[in-house]
Amino acid sequence: MTNHSETTGSSENGDVPGPATPGGTAHPPYGTPGDEHQITLRTPAELADALPYLLGYRPEDSIVLAALRDRDGRGRFGGRARLGIPANADDWAGAAGQLVHGLVTGSERRGARPERMVAYLCQEPARGETGREVMERLRPLAQKLRVECGALDVPVVEALCVSAGRFWSYCCDDAVCCPAEGTLMGLPGTSVLAAAATYAGIQVRGSLSELRARLLPMENAAAHEQEAALDAVAMTVVSRILDGTGRSDVAEETLDLAQRAMRRLTEAPPVSGVPAEDLRDDQLLGHDEAAALILGLQDRTTRDRAAEWMEGDEARPALRLWRALARRCVGPYGEHAAAPLTLAGWVAWSTGDELEAREALAMALGADPDYLFARLLHQACNEGLDPESVRRCLRTERGDRGGPGGGVSDGEEQVGAPGQSEPAGDSCAPPTSPGRRRRTRSVASADGVRRRARTQDRASGAKIGRPRTPAGGERPGVARTGRTRSRASGTAATDRMDACAEGAVRGEPGTEGGGERL
């Protein structure tokens, strides 16, 4: 579940042990199945301290639910889900219902229905507001969460508000353990749980805003130079992509350029700190080079071939490159970020980083809500599915071409009406049937951009700009013929990739890419 750029995740992996102890009432300890070392959490303070370790980051402006289930006489944390707190209180009931039902039904699909729930509300005070005032203001939201959980027979055993370095319990009225002024949170990394998590290799990152900063378009002086480069390159690259005879040449040039950039990133000397790493990568990528890569990746066949760099020594430099390209999708080219963001999310998920995967894929949907590959991957990642089925699909496509240097099929150029989006085909089904033609994405559909610009409020404030119209010319990426528009990159192999991703979401068997059964 996601409210556009906001991420939610539910997972049965990386659980952190602990019990729920509302109001001083003892409950069985909750622990991680199969873990040799377990920690017992018995107080609201210990539950508050556990939150970053449950998610892998420190949530901001968030509703978080953690499911609890019993196994072998011991209670354990199960799935978790997060949603941004709606600014309008009228939306709280809908958000509470969405989050609770999503987590419970998702857990049921995995065969582990929650038996209890712990709820967290995390929000920093506004100007002139105190942490206690935040807690009181959010009390109706906490009550709505308890009502929604109770309606599904999953009682909330503890509900905490975390604000201004303190926490409050909505379930405990004992002034000894839960004073009215709140209880100070411990210093990060100083608790027994923090020590155990460090020993177990569990990392807690900063906030989601810090993670998003690595993927957001740059806003410095270089952004104007990058936009000018995109304008210039679009005039030639887009027309070549739309031309059936030139598209395979653009694909080969794009992939070759990406591989050279990846080698450059691999050979770069290491630096200390995430901001310094991103700055180094930005300096290693020229504006014209980035523009050619961004526009070349708008072709779905090229994108899917780039997605094959998902494991081994290729994965890390590929992820760094996709992040850097997402940061270069500036100004009116914001919608173009869907391709590099989807690739970044896919590589992160393939290599086990579900947190960055969910965030990158959610941001890809914020850039282009109709981007099918991102939507399917986001759903599969949120549901805790195994990415191996999609990896097998990509390996098969790569093998069918005879390895990394295989050619790109031009395919048949498709023609569709303005505003049409990618099809959500049957799970891993053959992409075409007699008498039927697949609709495909345009490189930059002007009508689609206008439609998404009207609905930009749904994308958590992300503004989608219109492609710039050069003087005396068509908008980049649009080739008009009467009332229709030529659509690039409609190959059968690409449609099989989207169908393969859909098959991973549904968990259904099917045939794709040379007959491998998933």
Q: How much is the pLDDT for 451?
A: 39
Say if strands 480-481 and 484-487 run parallel, antiparallel, or are unpaired.
Answer: antiparallel
How many Å apart are CA 185 and CA 165, to the nearest integer? 6
Question: Is residue 330 scored above 90 in pLDDT?
Answer: yes
226 phi, psi to nearest 5 deg: -65, -40
Read off the DSSP letter of residue 54: H
What is the per-residue pLDDT for 462?
A: 35
Predicted local distance difference test score (pLDDT) of residue 452: 37
Residue 421: pLDDT above 70? no
Give the Cα separation of 35 and 97 in Å (integer). Answer: 33
Model confidence at 258, pLDDT cuts 50, 70, 90, reads: very high
Question: Does the pLDDT value for residue 482 go beyond 80?
Answer: no
Distance CA 98, CA 113 (A): 16
Residues 6+ apart with CB under 8 A from 49: 185, 186, 191, 193, 194
Structure tokens that stand for 316 in this block:
């890390």
- Calculate the alpha carbon distances from 499 to 8, 75, 427 in Å: 24, 39, 5
How many residues are listed for the chain in this entry? 518
Q: Which has the minimum average pLDDT: 43-52, 78-87, 219-228?
A: 43-52
Least confident of 38-47, 215-224, 342-351: 38-47
The residue ranges of DSSP E strands in 14-95, in sequence order, are 62-71, 74-84
269 has a pLDDT exceeding 90: yes
Give one word for 176, left, alpha or beta, with left for phi > 0 and alpha for psi -120 to 50.
Answer: alpha
Rounded mean pLDDT, 17-42:
42
The pLDDT value recorded for residue 257 is 97
pLDDT band at 199 (very low <50, low <70, confident <90, very high): low
CB-based contacts of 515: which residues, under 8 Å, 6+ apart? none
Run of H or E including 98: helix 92-109
DSSP-derived secondary structure letter, 409: -
Task: Tell me the pLDDT tens digit for each residue of 106-146.
Answer: 888 888 889 999 999 999 999 999 999 999 999 999 999 99
CA distance 512 to 396: 9
- Residue 32 in contact with residue 72, Cβ under 8 Å? no
**Residue 455: pLDDT above 50?**
no
Would you place residue 417 in the very low, low, confident or very high pLDDT band (cuts 50, 70, 90)?
Answer: very low
pLDDT band at 5 (very low <50, low <70, confident <90, very high): very low
Query: pLDDT band for position 270 (50/70/90)?
Result: very high
Contacts 24+ apart (CB under 8 A), 477-483: 477/234, 477/238, 477/242, 477/298, 477/442, 477/443, 477/444, 477/445, 477/446, 478/442, 478/444, 478/445, 478/446, 479/239, 479/242, 481/415, 483/417, 483/418
Lowest pLDDT segment from 290-304, 313-327, 340-354, 388-402: 388-402
Which of 181-195, 261-275, 291-305, 339-353 has the least mean pLDDT?
181-195
pLDDT band at 78 (very low <50, low <70, confident <90, very high): confident
What local confidence, expressed as pLDDT, does residue 329 receive?
98
- Please check whether residue 159 is in contact with residue 170, taking contact to mean a CB–CB distance below 8 angstroms: yes
pLDDT of res. 191: 63
Q: Which residue has the higher pLDDT, 9 or 490?
A: 490
Quick check: 293 and 284 in contact, CB under 8 A? no
CA distance 454 to 272: 42
Closest CA to 507 of 109, 111, 114: 109
Inter-CA distances, 165 with 304, 389, 453, Å: 45, 43, 38
For residue 192, what pLDDT is reported?
66
Q: Mean pLDDT over all residues of the chain?
A: 75
State yes or no: pLDDT of 98 exceeds 90. Answer: yes
- Residue range 493-516: mean pLDDT, rounded: 51
Beta strand 156-163 pairing with 116-122: parallel
Query: Residue 10 is encoded by which pair of tokens?
Result: 């539910």
- Whether the CB-CB separation of 132 and 180 falls below 8 Å is answered with yes
As a whole-number percent, the residues of the chain with pLDDT over 70 amount to 66
The position carrying tokens 């690039």 is 488
Sheet strand arrangement including 480-481: 414-416, 484-487, 480-481
> Using CA atoms in the order 191, 196, 198, 200, what is the torsion angle rounded to 10 degrees?
-160
State residue 72's pLDDT score.
Answer: 61
Average pLDDT over residues 423-449: 36
pLDDT in tens, 140-172: 999 999 999 999 999 999 999 999 999 999 998
